[in-house]
Structure 1
Amino acid sequence: MSELLLTAYNGSILGPIAKVLGWFMDKIYILLSALGFQSIALTIIVFTFFIYICMFPLTYQQQKFAVLQRKMQPEMKAIQDKYKGKKDQASMQAQQNEIQSLYDKYGISQVGSCGFMLIQMPILFALYRVFYNVPAYISSVKNIFTDLVSGIMATDGFANKMQGVFENSGVKNLNPTFSGSDTSVISDSIIDVLYKLPTSGWEAVTASFPDLASSVDTVVAKLERINYLFMLNISDTPLNLIKDGWSASNKNFALIVCALLIPVFSYLSQLANIKLTPTSTEGQSEQMAQQMKTMNLMMPLMSLFIAFSVPVGLGLYWIAGAVVRIIQQYFLNKHFEKIDLESIIEKNKEKAAAKAEKRGIRQAQIYEAARMSTKNSSMADKANLVNSESEALKKADEFRAKANSNSLAAKANLVKEFNEMNNK
Structure 2
Amino acid sequence: MSWFDGLLYPIMVAVAWIMVQFHSLFDFLGLDPAGGLAWGLSIVGLVIVMRIILIPLFFKQIKASRGMQLLAPDMKKIQAKYKGKTDPASREAMSRETMELYRKHGTNPFSSCLPILAQSPIFFALFRVLNSLPALASGDYVRDNLGPLTQDLASQAEQASIFGAPLSATFMNAAEFGDAAVHVRIVTILLVVAMSATTFLTQRQLTMKNMPPAALEGPMAQQQKMLMYVFPLIFAFSGVNFPIGVLLYWTTTNLWSMGQQFYTIRRMPAPGSQAEKALKARQAKKAAHKGITIEEDRPTIEERPVSGQRQQPVGKARAKKQQPRPAGSATATTSAGAAASSAAEESPSGSTASPEPGATGGPAPAKKKRNGTGGGKGGSTPGGTPDAG
8 A contact 2:168–2:243 mirrored in 1: yes
* Residue 256 (structure 1) shift: 5.7
- In the TM superposition, 1:11-410 aligns within 5 A as 11-12=6-7, 14-37=8-31, 38=33, 39-84=38-83, 85=85, 98-109=97-108, 112-113=111-112, 118-134=117-133, 145=137, 185=142, 227-241=160-174, 257-279=186-208, 282=214, 288-337=220-269
Q: Give the Cα separation in 2 of the matches to 1:236 and 1:324.
A: 24
Q: RMSD of the alignment, in Å?
A: 4.3
For residues 271-326 of structure 1, the C-alpha deviation after alignment (integer angstroms, 9 at most, x for no partner) is 22222222558467765544433332232122223222321111111111111111
Q: Give the Cα separation in 2 of the matches to 1:334 and 1:35.
A: 36
* Aligned equivalent of 2:343: none
Q: Give the Cα separation in 1 of the matches to 2:144 and 2:123.
A: 28
1:337 partner SS: coil
Bigger Cα Rg: 2
Q: Give the Cα separation in 1 of the matches to 2:29 and 2:4.
A: 30
Structure 1 residues 95 and 297, CA gap change in structure 2 (3 angstroms)? closer
8 A contact 1:76–1:283 mirrored in 2: no
Q: Give the Cα separation in 2 of the matches to 1:100 and 1:252.
A: 52
Give the AA of the match of 1:271.
Answer: F
How many equivalent residue pairs? 260
8 A contact 1:236–1:311 mirrored in 2: yes
Structure 2 regions of 5+ residues with no counterpart?
274-389
TM-score w.r.t. length of structure 2: 0.54
Structure 1 residues 49 and 102, CA gap change in structure 2 (3 angstroms)? same
Q: Give the Cα separation in 2 of the matches to 1:331 and 1:46.
A: 21
8 A contact 1:267–1:301 mirrored in 2: yes
Structure 1 regions of 5+ residues with no counterpart?
1-5, 137-141, 150-175, 177-183, 196-214, 342-424
2:269 partner SS: helix
Q: Give the Cα separation in 2 of the matches to 1:93 and 1:256.
A: 51
Give the AA of the match of 1:55.
Answer: L
TM-score w.r.t. length of structure 1: 0.50
8 A contact 1:239–1:259 mirrored in 2: no
* Aligned equivalent of 1:381: none
Q: Give the Cα separation in 2 of the matches to 1:287 and 1:96.
A: 15
Give the AA of the match of 2:202.
Answer: N
* Aligned equivalent of 1:385: none
1:278 partner SS: helix
Q: Give the Cα separation in 2 of the matches to 1:258 and 1:50.
A: 25
For residues 119-178 of structure 1, the C-alpha deviation after alignment (integer angstroms, 9 at most, x for no partner) is 443343333323333578xxxxx5xx4xx75xxxxxxxxxxxxxxxxxxxxxxxxxx7xx
Structure 1 residues 264 and 227, CA gap change in structure 2 (3 angstroms)? same
Structure 1 residues 307 and 325, CA gap change in structure 2 (3 angstroms)? same
Q: Give the Cα separation in 2 of the matches to 1:240 and 1:107.
A: 47
Q: Give the Cα separation in 1 of the matches to 2:207 and 2:123.
A: 23
Worse overlay, 92-101 or 260-269 = 92-101
